[in-house]
């Protein structure tokens, strides 16, 4: 846990001493002690439901950390926009970063394919860094622009496992850069993560200034995944776009609609939080940033922390780890890493209603296929093997029908020590 009370008290004490010296200088009195100017107080970001664990400093003389994304092994890949441009890596538990490759242009987007370990990043062109550390040009500027004028690639979103792209007519996982062509429109294109050829061109959409993209669950019976695009606006109204990617009719461009939010937003970055089924949005607000949750069904905006006045550099970014237990937020040359705070739970109570019955087996199935948010992974892990799969549903049914044993803390409400799958809503 970070200790901030003593440093705050010291700053307060120094401020009082300096004020006393100033009064004595004006009205006479004892000896005057002139010290160095006071440093600005450090305001650490905070997010409800998450605990700040460490700060990794890229130690940049000029530049901003941008587009952090977790790798499969807990490392964080982050780009730098500015003079010390390049792709960096923050190792698990580290408080510094290693420069992996220097780029000719500022990095503007990063994403990681957790299935292969490949890292994709945009620095005017699109590049791929293999799991072995080899970098290669993936898609060139001319190919991406298709002969037109290309703006900055603002977002890359790699589809989840099992994605089927009807535009490409294959089961290869979609790869979506979003680039601003002019001040009032944007283009979205589809790629395969297995080959560098452009597999389809989705066309032009009314994006004003797209800043980020992420996948979430489908919102129609035929759409297994939906792409969300944050649109900052920069002088116009900011918004979040919902792109229905999986269409039952192949060869048609995805439809777009705006997520109607209860508050006006200026989103710089977005990520889907699968454990609660909501978007986590880095919103520019009151000369800084705040982090809000957006309910995708109702559009309700919930602030999950005080305004982070320290986040003034453009652009800020955020990401959630594949297991849903870690959050990263960047600003300036700092990378802030949070751990999710876990709730108490009853093992087997997948729907968090305080009991274990047939409804929990149904709820677990719905959560596994993405029809509802994963409220508490620890509760769903009925056989306590540190994974959530169909075996846990079967174990729940065996308990309901045959009285099979369920691991602790069942039947009590409790928690687990050491590594946890996470529990956002425990129901007890």
For the chain, domains (ranges, CATH) are 50-340 (2.120.10.30), 342-428 (1.10.1330.10)
Give the range among 122-136, 170-184, 279-293 with minimum mean pLDDT: 170-184
In 3D, which of 262, 218, 270 has the Cα closest to residue 240? 270
Q: Between helices 390-402 and 358-368, what is the axis angle to 10°?
A: 170
Residue 12: which pLDDT band, with cuts at 50, 70 and 90? very low
- H/E element, 391: helix 390-402
- CB-based burial label for 61 (10 Å; 0-12, 13-18, 19+): exposed
Q: According to the per-residue pLDDT averaged within each range, which of 216-225, 243-252, 405-414 is highest?
A: 405-414
* Per-residue confidence band for 14, with pLDDT thresholds at 50, 70 and 90: very low
Q: Which residue has the higher pLDDT, 155 or 254?
A: 155
What is residue 38's predicted lDDT score, i.e. its pLDDT? Answer: 46
- What confidence tens digit (pLDDT) does each residue in 323-339 have? 888 999 988 888 999 98
In the predicted model, what is the mean pLDDT of residues 379-402?
92
**Token pair of 212, please?**
């980020």
By mean pLDDT, which of 18-32, 100-114, 196-210, 232-246 is the weakest? Answer: 18-32
Rounded average pLDDT over 172-187: 58
Residue, of 47 and 180, whose pLDDT is higher: 47
Q: Where are the alpha helices (DSSP H) in 146-263?
A: none
Q: pLDDT tier at 60 (50, 70, 90 boundaries)?
A: confident
Q: What are phi and psi of 51, to 5 degrees?
A: -115, 125
- pLDDT above 70: percentage of residues in the chain: 67
Judge contact between 294 and 240, C-beta under 8 A.
yes
Instruction: With cut-offs at 50, 70 and 90, classify the pLDDT of residue 197.
Output: low
Using the predicted structure, report yes or no on whether residue 321 has a pLDDT greater than 60.
yes
Q: Give the pair of three-digit tokens for residue 334.
A: 């700092």
């Amino acid at each position: 846990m970070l200790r901030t009370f003593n440093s705050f008290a010291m700053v307060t004490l120094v401020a009082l001493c300096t004020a006393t010296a100033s009064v004595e200088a004006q009205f006479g009195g004892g000896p005057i002690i002139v010290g160095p100017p006071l440093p600005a107080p450090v305001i650490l970001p905070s997010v409800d439901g998450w605990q700040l664990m460490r700060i990794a400093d890229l130690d940049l003389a000029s530049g901003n950390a941008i587009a952090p994304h977790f790798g499969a092994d807990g490392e964080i890949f982050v780009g730098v926009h500015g003079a010390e441009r390049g792709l960096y890596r923050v190792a698990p538990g580290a408080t510094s970063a290693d420069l992996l490759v220097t780029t000719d242009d500022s990095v503007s987007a990063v994403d990681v394919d957790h299935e292969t370990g490949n890292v994709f990043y945009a620095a005017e062109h699109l590049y791929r860094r293999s799991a072995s550390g080899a970098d290669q040009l993936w898609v060139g500027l001319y190919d991406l622009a298709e002969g037109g004028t290309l703006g900055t690639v603002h977002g890359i979103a790699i589809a989840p496992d099992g994605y089927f792209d009807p535009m490409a007519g294959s089961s290869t996982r979609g790869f979506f850069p979003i680039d601003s062509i002019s001040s009032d429109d944007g283009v979205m294109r589809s790629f395969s993560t297995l080959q560098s050829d452009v597999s389809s061109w989705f066309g032009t959409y009314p994006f004003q200034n797209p800043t980020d993209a992420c996948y979430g669950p489908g919102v129609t019976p035929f759409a297994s995944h939906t792409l969300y695009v944050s649109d900052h606006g920069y002088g116009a109204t900011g918004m979040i776009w919902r792109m229905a990617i999986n269409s039952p009719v192949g060869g048609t461009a995805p439809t777009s609609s705006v997520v109607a939010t209860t508050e006006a937003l200026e989103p710089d970055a977005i990520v889907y939080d699968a454990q609660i089924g909501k978007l986590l949005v880095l919103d520019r607000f009151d000369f800084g940033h705040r982090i809000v949750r957006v309910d995708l069904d109702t559009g309700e905006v919930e602030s999950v922390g005080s305004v982070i006045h320290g986040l003034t550099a453009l652009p800020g970014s955020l990401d959630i780890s594949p297991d849903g237990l870690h959050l990263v937020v960047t600003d300036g040359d700092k990378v802030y890493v949070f751990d999710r705070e876990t709730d108490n739970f009853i093992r087997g109570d997948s729907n968090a209603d305080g009991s274990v019955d047939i409804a929990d087996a149904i709820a677990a199935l719905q959560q596994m296929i993405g029809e509802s948010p994963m409220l508490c992974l620890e509760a769903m892990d009925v056989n306590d093997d540190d994974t959530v799969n169909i075996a846990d549903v079967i174990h729940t049914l065996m308990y309901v029908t045959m009285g099979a044993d369920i691991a602790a803390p069942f039947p009590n409400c409790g928690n687990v020590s050491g590594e946890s799958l996470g529990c956002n809503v425990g129901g007890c």
